[in-house]
C-alpha cells in the first residue's frame, strides 16, 4: 500500500491510460471534488468507461469536455442531474448510457458484468494501518456503503482522503485490498452533501402524497409499536419519514429498526429513542 501526497505524485507513478473502466461513489453528493480532480488527469485518454454511483451538477466541469470530445464510450450510473444531462443529450455516447438502481449497480460489479479496472474511492478518514472511517475528518459523510462493491472487485483500489492520521479514534472498517492512498487537501464541500434528493423541497403535491401514505398505513394497522421501516432520500420519502417521526413520538412507540439511505431525520429518530437501530 503506497501513500502519495497529492494527485500529481500518484499519477506520475501511475499515468492514466485509455481503454479503462473507472468507478467513483457519491456519498459526498453535490459537494464531491474527487471525481473532477481525478478526471482532470484523464482529459487526453480515449475509450473510457465510467461507473460513478451517481452524478451531480458539481461533476460537470470534470466530464463535459470528455463527453463532447467522445472520449467516454459508456457511462453506468444510478442518478444523473444538472448540466451533464443536457451535455449527454447534445453529445450521445458511442456506447450506452446505462441508468441502474443502486442494487443493480452492485450486482453488475460483483458479478463482473462490467469488469472494473480502477476504483477511486473518497474516504473521509484513513489511518496508518489502512483502517477507514466515514465518521471522522472535515469531510465526514457517514456510511460508505456504495463504495464496498467497487472495493471488492476493482483490479486497483485507490483510496483518497483529506484526513490521514496515525490511528483512527472511533469505529472503523477496512476494504479487502487498498493499492494506494492519495492524501489531498480537500475531498469537497461538506455543505453539498445535503443536496438533490436529500434536500426536502417545498412541493404541495409531495405533502399530499405523504399524508395519504400515512393515512393508508394507519388504516392497514401497520403503524404500531416495534414496527420497522425503510425510506429513501427522495422528497416524498423525507416527508413520510418526518410524519412517521412525529407519529412515533406522539404515541410513545419505538421502531425496531429503520433502513435507508439514512438521512438526518433517521439519525434524529435514533438519538431521540424513536428507533433502536439503523441499517444503511
Instruction: Tell me if residue 224 falls in helix, strand or coil.
Output: coil
Give dist(CA 113, CA 274) in Å, integer. Answer: 41
β-bridge partners, 97: 75
> What separation in angstroms does the CA of 93 have from each of 131, 183, 229?
38, 33, 39
Give dist(CA 245, CA 266) in Å, integer. Answer: 9
Contacts with 202 (C-beta within 8 Å, 6 or more apart), sequence order: none
Provide block-wise average pLDDT over 10 residues at a time, the chain (280 residues). Answer: 96 98 94 97 97 95 96 95 91 94 93 97 95 94 90 98 94 94 94 65 88 97 96 87 96 95 89 94
Q: How many helices (H) and strands (E) does the chain have?
A: 9, 14
Q: Are the C-beta atoms of 53 and 77 separated by less than 8 Å?
A: yes
Give dist(CA 146, CA 280) in Å, integer. Answer: 10
Query: Residue 190's pLDDT is what?
Result: 81
Reported pTM: 0.85
Contacts with 217 (C-beta within 8 Å, 6 or more apart), sequence order: 223
User: Which letter does DSSP use for residue 103 in this model?
Assistant: H
Pairing of strands 180-183, 156-161: parallel
Give dist(CA 8, CA 140) in Å, integer. Answer: 24
Query: Residue 79's pLDDT is what?
Result: 87
Give dist(CA 2, CA 33) in Å, integer. Answer: 22
User: Which letter does DSSP use for residue 72 in this model?
Assistant: E
141: left (phi over 0), alpha (psi -120 to 50) or beta: alpha
Instruction: Tell me if residue 12 falls in helix, strand or coil.
Output: helix
Query: Residue 24's pLDDT is what?
Result: 98
Q: Are the C-beta atoms of 138 and 165 separated by less than 8 Å?
A: no
Query: Residue 147's pLDDT is what?
Result: 93
Q: Are the C-beta atoms of 136 and 173 separated by less than 8 Å?
A: no
Amino acid at each position: 500500500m503506497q501513500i502519495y501526497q497529492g494527485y500529481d505524485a500518484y499519477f506520475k507513478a501511475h499515468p492514466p491510460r485509455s481503454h479503462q473502466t473507472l468507478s467513483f461513489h457519491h456519498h459526498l453528493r453535490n459537494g464531491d471534488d474527487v471525481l473532477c480532480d481525478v478526471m482532470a488527469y484523464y482529459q487526453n485518454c480515449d475509450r473510457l468507461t465510467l461507473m460513478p454511483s451517481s452524478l451531480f451538477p458539481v461533476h460537470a466541469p470534470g466530464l463535459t469536455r470528455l463527453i463532447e470530445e467522445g472520449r467516454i464510450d459508456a457511462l453506468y450510473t444510478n442518478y444523473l442531474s444538472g448540466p451533464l444531462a443536457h451535455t449527454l443529450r447534445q453529445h450521445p455516447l458511442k456506447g450506452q448510457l446505462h441508468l441502474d438502481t443502486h442494487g443493480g449497480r452492485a450486482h453488475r460489479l460483483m458479478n463482473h458484468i462490467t469488469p472494473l479496472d480502477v476504483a477511486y474511492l473518497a474516504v473521509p478518514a484513513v489511518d496508518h494501518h489502512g483502517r477507514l472511517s466515514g465518521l471522522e475528518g472535515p469531510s465526514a459523510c457517514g456510511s460508505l456503503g456504495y463504495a464496498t462493491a467497487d472495493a471488492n472487485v476493482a483490479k486497483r483500489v485507490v483510496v483518497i482522503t483529506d484526513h490521514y492520521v496515525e490511528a483512527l479514534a472511533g469505529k472503523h472498517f477496512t476494504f479487502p485490498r487498498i493499492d494506494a492512498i492519495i492524501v489531498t487537501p480537500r475531498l469537497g464541500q461538506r455543505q453539498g452533501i445535503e443536496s438533490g434528493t436529500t434536500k426536502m423541497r417545498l412541493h404541495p403535491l409531495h405533502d399530499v402524497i405523504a399524508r395519504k401514505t400515512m393515512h393508508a398505513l394507519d388504516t392497514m394497522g401497520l403503524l404500531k409499536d416495534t414496527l420497522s421501516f425503510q425510506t429513501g432520500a427522495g422528497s416524498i420519502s423525507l416527508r413520510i419519514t418526518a410524519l412517521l417521526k412525529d407519529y412515533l413520538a406522539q404515541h410513545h412507540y419505538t421502531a425496531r429498526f429503520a433502513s435507508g439511505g439514512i438521512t438526518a431525520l433517521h439519525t434524529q429518530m435514533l438519538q431521540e429513542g424513536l428507533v433502536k437501530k439503523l441499517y444503511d
